[in-house]
């Protein structure tokens, strides 16, 4: 029997979704009546087929069991944690880069007063958590020492963790440990816990919630002709294998967020396929985060209409991701994204 993957699709959002759920014509994603679906796409390495959910019972017995197992995870309620509430509006992870060389705002907020002010502004604009990073991991960037990374962030982390929920964007176990002791609530490791072998022990010992991101290669060279057999299924398999390993070493909590890593070892085709088919990751059973803010794919698509801030492309992709049930967006321009979500919801309200 080939390996099957379940992708929920044909989503409904808002009042229309509520009506269909009430009539049992669609299933609510994570028990959210405002966001539902009535089709699934059954995918293998060699084929894909869309069916309506009421046709699942006509499938062969073994495949039916597999699909129903996935659907159980897809419709189950996601419990809130770390100020993240899972409903029809995505949480926003507000980005605070305390670096001189991040790809879009390097050097803009890396002074203490400016950094703290920006973090408070992001939180007041609607960010659920502020994601603080002291090392740039943009394509072409080079690793820095632990001492330098810690000097960049420690004073701001110490102050902000007492004021707002904070996540820490780092690949290094020593930085993680220090940050957690200062009150950091979530660890965001862009390497998928691959960079430093000690990170899993820190997360296990402190029982800290974390973001598990997929990344192919290191930042220094990850955009040098990235390749996959099938980026969507390869990345799904990466998460499945990694979660199985984490369970085996004793990390049993469900406060784990998965991030397919847009732009981290992916070209435009890879990124677009991941965004278009993002709903496949719901069958893993964990909240999904997407870092779409100001990313290179916006420039690649818009070309002569590109701008440094890329707010238009960020808004467009954020609304699409919201309607696919993505629970968390990692965003620079929090006010603009929250504004666009509120306007979209009002337009489709009736």
3-state secondary structure of 3: coil
Rg (CA), the chain: 20
Q: Which residue of the set 18, 33, 295, 296 is catalytic? A: 295
With contact defined as beta carbons under 8 Å apart, do 129 and 185 qualify? yes
Please tell me the distance from the alpha carbon of residue 212 to that of residue 226, in angstroms, as a whole number: 20
Catalytic pick among 172, 177, 266, 330: 330
Structure tokens at 126: 């609607």
295 catalytic? Reply is yes
Annotated catalytic, 155? no
Report residue 198: phi and psi, to 5°.
Answer: -85, -10
Alpha-carbon distances, residue 247 vs 140, 238, 262, 275 (angstroms): 33, 14, 25, 27
Query: Cα–Cα distance between 4 and 66 in angstroms, integer?
Result: 8
| Integer Cα distance of 339 and 97 in angstroms | 22
- Residues known to be catalytic: 295, 330
């Amino acid at each position: 029997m080939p390996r099957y993957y379940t992708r929920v699709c044909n989503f409904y959002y808002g009042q229309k979704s509520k009506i269909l759920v009430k009539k049992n014509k669609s299933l609510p994603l994570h028990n959210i009546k405002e966001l539902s679906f009535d089709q699934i796409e059954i995918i293998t390495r060699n084929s894909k087929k869309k069916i309506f959910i009421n046709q699942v019972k006509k499938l062969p017995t073994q495949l039916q069991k597999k699909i129903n197992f996935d659907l159980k995870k897809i419709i189950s309620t996601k419990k809130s944690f770390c100020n993240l509430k899972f409903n029809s509006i995505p949480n926003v992870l507000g980005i605070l880069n305390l670096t001189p060389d991040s790809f879009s705002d390097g050097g803009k907020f890396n002074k203490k007063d400016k950094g703290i002010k920006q973090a408070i502004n992001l939180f007041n604009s609607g960010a659920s958590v502020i994601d603080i990073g002291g090392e740039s991991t943009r394509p072409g960037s080079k690793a820095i020492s632990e001492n330098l990374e810690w000097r960049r962030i420690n004073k701001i982390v110490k102050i902000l963790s007492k004021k707002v929920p904070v996540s820490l964007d780092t690949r290094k176990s020593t930085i993680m440990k220090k940050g957690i002791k200062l009150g950091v609530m979530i660890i965001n490791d862009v390497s998928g816990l691959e960079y430093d072998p000690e990170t899993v022990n820190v997360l296990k010992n402190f029982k800290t919630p974390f973001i598990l991101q997929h990344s192919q290669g290191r930042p220094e060279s990850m955009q040098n002709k990235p390749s996959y057999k099938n980026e969507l299924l390869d990345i799904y398999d990466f998460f499945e294998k990694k979660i199985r390993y984490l369970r085996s070493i004793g990390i049993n909590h469900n406060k784990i967020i998965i991030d397919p890593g847009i732009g981290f070892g992916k070209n435009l085709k890879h990124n677009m396929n991941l965004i278009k088919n993002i709903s496949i990751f719901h069958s893993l059973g964990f909240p999904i985060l997407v870092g779409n803010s100001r990313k290179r794919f916006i420039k690649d698509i818009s070309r002569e209409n590109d701008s440094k801030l890329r707010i238009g492309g960020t808004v467009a992709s954020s609304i699409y991701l919201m309607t696919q049930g993505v629970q968390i967006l990692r965003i620079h321009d929090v006010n603009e994204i929250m504004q666009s979500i509120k306007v979209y919801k009002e337009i489709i309200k009736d």
